[in-house]
Amino acid sequence: MQKLATKSLEYHLSEIQKAQASIKGVCIKTALIYSDVFSNESGNSVYIKPENLQITGAFKIRGAYNKLCTLTPDQRKRGVIASSAGNHAQGVAYSAEKLGIDATIVMPKTTPLIKVEATKSYGATVVLYGDCYDEANTEAKRLQAENNYVFVHPFDDLDVLYGQGTIACEIIEEINDIDCILVPVGGGGLIGGIALAAKALKSSIKIIGVEPEGAKAMKESMDNNKIVNLETVNTIADGVAVKKPGTIPFEIIKNYVDEIVTVSDFDIMESFLLLLEKHKLIAEASGALSFAGLKKIKEKGKKVACVLSGGNIDVVTISSMIDRGLVSRGRLFCFSIEMSDIPGELVKVSTILAKANANVVKLDHNQFKTNDRFMHVQLEITVETNGHNHVNNIIKTLNKGGYKVNKIY
């Protein structure tokens, strides 16, 4: 295990600055984007760090390329292996191809196809194994021992962290009076590198990690002051679905991260929708974490940078995320009512909805979902709405018309 306790912040910063030189010309220096919508909603001046614009679609290329640059000629000949839910896989595969190194990547069987195909396109050998990162990692370790590969860990490696830390250097170079940086947290490599760089450059910067409620391994570890291994993880943010955080990141986070907050999957989907709709930026679920975290922080009137960590997401998932985000924002409302099975009743309901400015997108008229199908019928309706207040007004209007509303979503 690489030594951490004996190293000063100044030493870590010098290594991160070396990483900046190593990745120059390979990684994009992503420019900050000011966000009116997130600023207005959070009460802060919010800036987006769009790492989804990297050539591999995520920040992981920074750490992967820096790590491979540190390998000796003998290590390069042996080839490298990595385990990843997708973004680290692409970062290692792309970096290996650039440097002429053979790469094998072990990915969970649940990895989105877009990430699997992208990894293969960079010339890596892909092995699908297990249902989550931790199981894929176990298989990668077995293959490493069997074939004498060099293991490139996605987050428990200082050279990888130094690459990720270049993100903080770029943020501070662009806005030197930044007050706070929000960072998605999985295994902890991204926030660990960012924390080292930020605290070395400006100790007053607040570093806040954001985890999904269904995969809060780092928060549990912080709360218990020891590394916690979750029994299960359950979140749409597959890129951070880690049961056990890294040892090195944990030590860094204990010392240099100010707070970790958790968010629901609905919070994530809402942030995804805003990024897509207002900024035309595509984020994978884990990439939108820091924006979901804006609702959970106490800071007001501060300059806040949110790291959009990645945008590798397939079209089917995008469609699902949009629908769920619309529900979360009160832009899509599905409900059912029971009504008398007589002529004109459906027109009456339609008239009420029209007067309430609710646009019907789907309707199901079903006699067989009521106890008395000869007298009553269940009507299930999905309408486009303009927010939660509009939804509440529709419900009140239908109630006044004599209909009891059962909200489905």
Active site residues: 60, 309
Residue 305 near residue 32, CB atoms below 8 Å: yes
In this structure, the number of other CB atoms found within 10 A of the CB of residue 22 comes to 21
In this structure, the number of other CB atoms found within 10 A of the CB of residue 135 comes to 17
Element of type H or E holding 193: helix 189-201
Within the chain, how many helices (H) and strands (E) appear?
Answer: 16, 14
- For residue 256 the two structure tokens come to 């240099």
- For residue 252 the two structure tokens come to 């860094």
- For residue 30 the two structure tokens come to 């992503």
